[in-house]
Structure 1
Amino acid sequence: MCQELNTVKEKINVKAESAKELERKLEAMRSGPSLREVKEEEKSVLEKDLKKFNDLIEQLKDHEARAEKQMEEKEKTLVVKVEEKSRICAENEELKKKVEEQGFNMRDAERMKRELQAVERDIGEAEVERNKWEEKCWDLNAVIGTKWKELEALQIECNQAIRRLKLGNGFQYELNAKGSTPIEVLGDYKSTLKPGLNSSIEEVKRTKMESLESKVRLQQVSSDIAAKIKAKENRIAILQSQIDELTNQISAIQKGTQDYISRCEMEARQLQEKFEAESHNVDLVEKEAHEFLENAKATLQETTVRSEEEVQMCAYQLLALIDSVSKYKEFTASKISQMKDVVSETAAAIAQAHNDSLASSIGTLPQSKV
């Protein structure tokens, strides 16, 4: 029963998660921007970039035209200055020739010297002006180079935006440094981009219709899932009542188990107290045994000392006895040797006496026969 309940719960959870996922997708489709809006936003960004690009080109052209005009004016002024310098140099040469040909006094020399200094001063000022105009030309060229780099950066951004739109015509902006009009600099982009943008708009419309159809399908699926969830909820209510009954039974079993555990704990405490009492008795017995062992060791030590003393005394007595035995043995040996001598003498005397008696007996036998 529990396994079936768990299986049903898992299925319900899976269905609920699927329903939530579908609802999230539906909500995301409702709240999030559509593909058409994204494409339109990209298109507006691209148009803004294009407008900015065109404005920058116009500014660059105006600035370039003004710079060219200023350059022409400065070149004309420079040509005039050069011609004037050449004329002054020619006049100086003529004056030098005249001075060489004619005699002159100190006043004429001073005047000519002042005129020469004035001419040299004019020449220096003309050279300074020429250097200034050359520096301005260099600055203008640097500004033109910077603007051209900015234009190239905008070109890269526009090309990336076109690639993101995936128009399919392969159009890319390519700058022409020699062009004088926006079409010559950028190329004929209007006739190339317009068909691609129109096709993108059609694609956005088609995608929007598909998203609406998928939205309707998702709503139908969501309603079906909601009905299934309702049925599962009813089933869960029935199972919940069964779970409550099982819970009550489990509570009764747990109560009985708790009572049994309490009794076991009480018996365990009693056994523990009994064990502690027996342990105390064992400790007392061990203490008495230890004292008895100590006393026995002391008694054994005293007995050992006393036994050693007695053994030493017995050893002394044994040595004395051995000495007396050895002395008695010597005395006995001497007595035995004396007795042997006496016995041998006695035996010899007896033998002699026996022989004498035999001889006398043999001598008396023939006389009796006669």
Structure 2
Amino acid sequence: MMWEMQTVESDIAEGESRRNEMSGKAWKLNSEIEGKLMEIEALTEQCNQAIRKLKLRNHFQLVLDINGSSAAEVIGINYKDLLKPALNALAEEAKKAIFSNTKKRINLQKQSYDNDIFIEGKRAGAQLDLLKKEMEDHASRCASKVKKTKEVLAIKEQQMVDLF
């Protein structure tokens, strides 16, 4: 009987030891869960700030349910129903804006090209006008020299005629 009492006491001591060990593990897991919950809450707040920056029309906001038993219950299963259509609409608007901006940029590039051609034409025309003016000035100087030379020759011819 004594031996049975010792066995029971050792079983009780072993049970208490395991219970204390499990209690320690439970405390450790509980603190880890609390830490993870705090991380999830911080991430939820960041998500909500990002959603506010997107300026979605449905004013969606993530709310944690800490009593949920699955990830979908904790985050809220309806977030896909509310957020996905709003994000798709926002993506569609962004695509339209990009397409519109691309069209505008192409038109502006075409206008810029046309303006460059026009300016280059004006520049070439101005150079041509300058060359024409230089040619006319040169022709005028040459004609003036020819006239002066003719006058000088006429005077010399007259002097030669007067000498003979």
- CA deviation map 1:193-219 (0-9, x unaligned): 133123213312321332133123202
Using the alignment, how far apart are the partners of 1:237 and 1:146 within structure 2?
79
| TM-score, length-scaled by structure 1 | 0.31
CA gap 1:138/1:206 in 2 versus in 1, 3 angstroms: same
- CA deviation map 1:203-259 (0-9, x unaligned): 123213321331232023212320243145437757998xxxxxxxxxxxxxxxxxx
CA gap 1:119/1:213 in 2 versus in 1, 3 angstroms: closer
Matched AA of 2:117: A
State the aligned residue count.
130
- CA deviation map 1:157-211 (0-9, x unaligned): 3223323332221111110001124443222111111331232133123213321
Question: Equivalent of 1:190, from 62, 67, 80?
Answer: 80
CA gap 1:126/1:183 in 2 versus in 1, 3 angstroms: closer
Kindly, what percent of the aligned residue pairs are identical? 42
Match of 1:287 in 2: none
| TM-score, length-scaled by structure 2 | 0.62
CA gap 1:230/1:153 in 2 versus in 1, 3 angstroms: same
Using the alignment, how far apart are the partners of 1:139 and 1:193 within structure 2?
36
Using the alignment, how far apart are the partners of 1:239 and 1:117 within structure 2?
124
Using the alignment, how far apart are the partners of 2:62 and 2:130 within structure 1?
70
In the TM superposition, what are the counterparts of 1:302-341 in structure 2 within 5 Å?
none
Match of 1:206 in 2: 96
Match of 1:230 in 2: 120
In the TM superposition, what are the counterparts of 1:342-357 in structure 2 within 5 Å?
none
Question: Equivalent of 1:180, from 57, 63, 69?
Answer: 69
- CA deviation map 1:64-86 (0-9, x unaligned): xxxxxxxxxxxxxxxxxxxxxxx
Higher RCO (CA < 8 A, seq sep 6+): 1
Match of 1:151 in 2: 40
CA gap 1:220/1:122 in 2 versus in 1, 3 angstroms: closer
Match of 1:253 in 2: none
Match of 2:21 in 1: 132
Match of 1:163 in 2: 52
Using the alignment, how far apart are the partners of 1:190 and 1:138 within structure 2?
35
Cα offset for 1:115? 5.6
Cα offset for 1:116? 5.1
SS state at 2:69 partner: coil
Structure 2 residues not aligned, in runs of 5+: 132-164
Using the alignment, how far apart are the partners of 1:213 and 1:118 within structure 2?
88
Larger radius of gyration: 1
Moved over 4 A (4+): 114-119, 235-241
Matched AA of 1:230: E
**Root-mean-square deviation over aligned CA pairs:** 3.0
Using the alignment, how far apart are the partners of 2:9 and 2:130 within structure 1?
115
Q: If each structure's helix is expressed as a fraction of its own residues, which one has the higher value?
A: 1
- CA deviation map 1:35-93 (0-9, x unaligned): xxxxxxxxxxxxxxxxxxxxxxxxxxxxxxxxxxxxxxxxxxxxxxxxxxxxxxxxxxx
Structure 1 residues not aligned, in runs of 5+: 1-110, 242-370
In the TM superposition, what are the counterparts of 1:84-163 in structure 2 within 5 Å?
112=2, 117-163=6-52
Matched AA of 1:142: S
